[in-house]
Chain A
Amino acid sequence: MANDKSSMQLVANGILKENPIFRLALSMCPAVGISTTVMNGFMLGVAVLFVQVCSSLTISTVKNFIHPRIRIPTYTLTIATWVTVIDMVLAAYMPEAYSKMGIFVKLIVAFAIITMRLEMFACKEPVGASFWDGLGMGMGFMIGMMTIGLVRELLGSGTILGYDVLGFKPLLFFILPSAGFFVVGLMMAFFNYIEIFYKRQKGFKS
């Protein structure tokens, strides 16, 4: 039962086993679109983390008051409210980072991952567990975004977080938006490879 999992296990689950970007293949729009630098990935990851955690907490707290027929509209309303909140906060306190992300902060409302998580977890589990699960999922997303951002920034402009690491620009191609597809595809293939390799090892052992 999910109740028996400790909080740490829930978080680890979100980051590794059910990582939204690489394993569940959900919410890929920002992964491809704005993961041009690590900073972008981090900021959007923070925004998604915030929305995920707050929505999970809210739904978990009021789960007994939600009428089953209007489940989905309630989830949508909650997510939209928190997205509006984080959108306003980011626009007011971090305008430069916000302007780089453009329309993607507002689009968090359409991410399937958050709705799915609310549907599958938050409306059944207690508040504490929902919080850790939300945290795990959000962190998984953030780590995924930052990894892709790292690869693209390093190979595209030779910098990490703005610091010139390589001293030259290897391939401008990686900053161009279309490279997002390639990088994500290759990273998924990489994860696939690891899984197949691991299974093959296990197969040899047993």
Chain B
Amino acid sequence: MKNIFTIIIRLTLSCLVAAFVMGLFFVLTSKAKKHNEHVNEEKTMYSLLGYKDVASVPQTVKLYAVYRYIVTDLKGKSIAYLVPTGQGASVGFSFITLDLDGKLIDQKPVTVSADDAAEQESRDKAIKVALGSGKEIAYAEDKTIIVTENGARTAYLINGKFPGFKASISVMLALKPDFGIRGMAIVEHEEDPGLGAEIEKKYFKNQFIDKSFAALKTLDVVKEPLPEGYRKSLEGPLDNADDEKILQQYKDHAIYALTGATISSRSVTNGVKGTVAKFAYRINILDNVLKEQNIVVPF
């Protein structure tokens, strides 16, 4: 009997010690983990915009984040956006709720600092405080970054997630103000190395650059070999005149599929099409509402 007692005590003690050690490391590393994720995302964003790092971004360029939420109340569902409002020094946040047809339901000011707005937990809390009871909010995992230079819009940064050949593929897209594609970065995927994983390579990714919004609507994938001259230009630095000419030549051409990875190529193309189409629809509605209601925004 005493034996079992000692066993149990010793086992519980060891479990507690182990849990303590793990808890300690968890607390120490979780901050570093969040910081790293943040830094990685920033790096992708700035490289898509053409800047090498945060330091080389000029002062005139500003980034504003708009977050999309789904609000459910007794009447049904509605879409809402957390938008930075105001101009110059006095930039605050507003929670703008729209119905499913794109008409404004209401607009509530939200008190939250810029840092807190970047973290989902603190953002949700601040919005709940502003909305009051009776409404449920759910973050739609949709963050749009609007890039302005001297107050005028120069680019949009959006995220897309869609099913690939194996698991889902996450991309970050940089769009021009007219919704043409400025650049694409593959954020996450689980495709086969050497086959589907080639979507990360420049000769596939860069084919999307400069495709106009109209061309995107009917963009298709062709199973033809990539012409050698086109490939060289895609992999080059993209800034000399000869490359420009070749790239212009293929600007409205379909996407050349990857060898042995047609399905991955199709998934990415369809995913990009769907993401950009949905984004364009939504940002137009938001802009209409902002104009109609004369809501002042810094972008």
A and B touch in the complex (CB under 8 A): yes
Binding site for B on A (CB under 8 A): 36, 65-67, 69-70, 73-74, 77-78, 80-81, 84-85, 88-89, 91-93, 95, 156-157, 172, 175-176
Binding site for A on B (CB under 8 A): 3, 6-7, 10-11, 14-15, 18, 21-22, 25-26, 29-30, 32-33, 36-37, 40, 192-194
Q: Are B22 and A85 in contact (CB under 8 A)?
A: yes
Given that A67-B7, A93-B36 are known contacts, is A77 also in contact with B193, CB under 8 Å in the complex?
no
Distance A81 CA – B36 CA, assembled complex (angstroms): 24
List of B residues within 8 angstroms of A88 by Cβ: 22, 25-26, 29-30, 33
Q: Are A81 and B18 in contact (CB under 8 A)?
A: yes
Given that A69-B3, A95-B37 are known contacts, is A89 also in contact with B29, CB under 8 Å in the complex?
yes
Q: Are A81 and B22 in contact (CB under 8 A)?
A: yes
List of B residues within 8 angstroms of A172 by Cβ: 194
Q: Are B29 and A70 in contact (CB under 8 A)?
A: no
Q: Are A176 and B194 in contact (CB under 8 A)?
A: yes
List of A residues within 8 angstroms of B192 by Cβ: 176
Q: Is the interface of A mostly helix, strand, loop or mixed?
A: helix
Closest chain-B Cβ to A150's Cβ sits at a distance in Å of 17
Nearest-CB residue, chain A, relative to B15: A77
List of B residues within 8 angstroms of A91 by Cβ: 29, 33
Q: Are A84 and B22 in contact (CB under 8 A)?
A: yes
Q: Are B10 and A176 in contact (CB under 8 A)?
A: no
List of B residues within 8 angstroms of A85 by Cβ: 21-22, 25
List of B residues within 8 angstroms of A81 by Cβ: 18, 21-22
Nearest-CB residue, chain B, relative to A90: B29
Given that A67-B7, A85-B25, A172-B194 are known contacts, is A92 also in contact with B14, CB under 8 Å in the complex?
no
Q: Are B193 and A65 in contact (CB under 8 A)?
A: no
Q: Are B14 and A74 in contact (CB under 8 A)?
A: yes
Beyond A73-B11, A92-B36, A93-B29, 5 additional pairs, beta carbon < 8 A:
A81-B21, A85-B22, A88-B26, A91-B29, A176-B194
Closest chain-B Cβ to A67's Cβ sits at a distance in Å of 5
8 pairs, A vs B, C-beta closer than 8 Å: A73-B11, A74-B11, A81-B22, A85-B25, A88-B30, A88-B33, A89-B29, A176-B194
Q: Are A175 and B194 in contact (CB under 8 A)?
A: yes
The 6 closest A-B pairs by CB, nearest first: A92-B29, A92-B32, A92-B33, A81-B18, A88-B29, A172-B194
Closest chain-B Cβ to A177's Cβ sits at a distance in Å of 9
List of A residues within 8 angstroms of B15 by Cβ: 77
Given that A69-B7, A91-B29 are known contacts, is A36 also in contact with B193, CB under 8 Å in the complex?
yes
Q: Are A78 and B10 in contact (CB under 8 A)?
A: no
Closest chain-B Cβ to A193's Cβ sits at a distance in Å of 30
Closest chain-A Cβ to B228's Cβ sits at a distance in Å of 16
Closest chain-B Cβ to A42's Cβ sits at a distance in Å of 18
Given that A65-B10, A175-B194, A176-B192 are known contacts, is A89 also in contact with B36, CB under 8 Å in the complex?
no
Nearest-CB residue, chain A, relative to B6: A67
Nearest-CB residue, chain B, relative to A82: B21
List of B residues within 8 angstroms of A89 by Cβ: 25, 29
